[in-house]
Structure 1
Amino acid sequence: MAAATSKKALRFFSQFGAFILTRFSFWNCFSMLMLFAERADVKRKPDIQVPYLYFDLGAAVLCASFMSFGVKRRWFSLAAALHLALSTYVSYVGGQVHYGDWLKVRMYSRAMAIIGGFLVLASGAGEVYRQKPRTRSLQSTGQVFLGIYLICTVYSLQHSKEDRLAYLDHVPGGEITVQLLVVVFGVLALSYLSGCYVRVASQILAVLLPLIVLFIDGNMGYWHRSCHVEFWNQIKLIGQNVGIFGAVLILATDS
């Protein structure tokens, strides 16, 4: 009886993670549109040139729609990963908007983690009734992307004044807690990169991420007013961390 209940709970969390991740692109597109509307008021350019922006948004919505309805989920998860990689690259090389180095690390590392999450989904993880064997190579690649995201988090906590202050001002314990988090994130990164104890690492990260979203990312006054991060850009970053949480839930319950 206890085993059956535990299995149902794991399946529920796995489905919940897949639900979040498959619908991430909808929220990402909405926050991007709101961000570009915010910039239009002050005559700033979007990250991607306007003619290509509509194709970018259309492709994201198309992939998200098919993933959400479970139609060829593996194929469209892979397509979503490739699309996000291309979109991020175009945004980066376009150079239409200047970002500080610390903000670039936050933005592009999270985009990389979402790409990893889509690859995990494309491997067959998170499927309720798996009809085909899981593609372990895709899952391993996705885990590497998540590991790189955690390494970037460690880097930010060590070298970004803005990120360090966000934690120092809002996490009990001050510098000691920050250094403990650096160690924890570093160990979790090694786990994802090596493929060892991924399930345990994901369970730990699934506990930490909601706290980070709530107390660190959710501190809009600090990021928007003190660090001058655009309001909807910060909302987009919050959405990315929620999407990463969805990927981590899948790995924590179905790895």
Structure 2
Amino acid sequence: MAAPGRRELLRTLSQFGAFILTRFGFWNCFSMLMLFAERADVKRKPDIQVPYLYIDMGVAVLCASFMSFGVKRRWFALAAAIQLALSTYVSYVGGLVHYGDWLKVRMYSRALAIIGGFLVLASGAGEVYRQKPRTRSLQSTGQVFLGIYLICMVYSLQHSQEDRVAYLDHIPGGELTVQLLVVVFGVLAFAFLSGVYVRIAAQILSIMLPLVVLFIDGNLGYWHRTRHVEFWNQMKLIGQNVGIFGAVLILATDG
């Protein structure tokens, strides 16, 4: 009786991860609209020029809608990955808004991880009744993107004073704990990049990420008031980490 119960639990968790990831596009578009409304009050530009911005959001909502209803989920997950990659590239190259280097690492590494999550979804992972074999090449590519995200977390903890202070102020153990996290994230990054023990690495990360979202990202007073990150930009970053959690949950249960 234990084995069927365990399989049912893993299936439920996998479905929950897919639920989060497939609906990420809705939150991302909403937080972007709120961010640009926030900037309009101080006459700051959006990351992407307005005509293309609405096209980009329309494609994102379309992909999220079809993925949410389970219609050609693999195809629309791949389309969502391409859409997010293009919008991230255009916003980076456009340079309409100036960000500090430490904030760029946070923003673009998380976007890259979400792209990786969509590729994992496009591979067929997380499907309840898989009618076609999963595409391992897509899943491996997605895992690499998640590994790069973890490398960026290691880099931030080592070289970004803003990130280091956020962790030092909210975790016990001080510098020793930060260095321990550097080692853990580094080992997890190696697992995702190499494809070795990915499922175990994803299970560990699925436990750690909610704590990061709650205690580090969720400290809006620190990021918004002290580090001057725009409120809705921080909310967008929180949503991205939640989406990454969804992708990791899929790999942890169906990797």
**TM-score category, normalised to shorter length:** over 0.9
| Alpha-carbon distance in 2 for matches of 1:231, 1:203 | 30
State the alpha-carbon separation in 2 of the partners of residues 187 and 13 from structure 1: 24
Shift of 1:30: 0.2
Residue aligning to 1:5 = 5
Give the superposition deviation at 1:58: 0.2
| In structure 1, C-alpha distance between the alignment counterparts of 2:5 and 2:71, rounded to whole Å | 29
Corresponding residue for 1:20? 20
Corresponding position of 1:85: 85
Describe the SS at the equivalent of 2:71.
coil
Match of 1:232 in 2: 232
2:203 is aligned to 203
The share of aligned pairs that are identical, in percent, is 85
Deviation at 1:6, TM superposition (A): 0.3
Q: CA–CA distance in 2 between the matches of 1:54 and 1:30? A: 12
Partner Cα separation in structure 2 for residue 218 and residue 73 of structure 1: 31
State the distance in 1 between where 2:121 and 2:95 align: 31
Residue of structure 1 equivalent to 2:50: 50
Shift of 1:69: 0.3
Unaligned runs of 5+ in 1: none
Q: Does 1:193 align with 2:208?
A: no
Q: For 1:1-255, list aligned pairs within 5 A.
A: 1-255=1-255
Q: Deviations over 1:192-251 (max 9, x none)?
A: 000000000000000000000000000000000010000000000000000000000000
Post-superposition Cα deviations, 1:22-72, rounded to whole Å, max 9, x if no partner, equal: 000000000000000000000000000001110010000000000000000
Question: Structure 2 stretches of 5 or more lacking a match?
Answer: none
Residues of 2 paired with 1:251 and 1:52: CA distance?
33
CA distance in structure 1 between the aligned counterparts of 2:54 and 2:111, rounded to whole angstroms? 19
- TM-score, normalization: structure 2? 1.00
SS class of match (1:170)? coil
Distance 1:81 1:95 in 2: 22
AA at the equivalent of 1:242? V
* Over 2 Å off, 4+ runs: none
Q: Which amino acid aligns with 2:66?
A: F
In 1, the alpha carbon distance for the partners of 2:217 and 2:13 equals 23
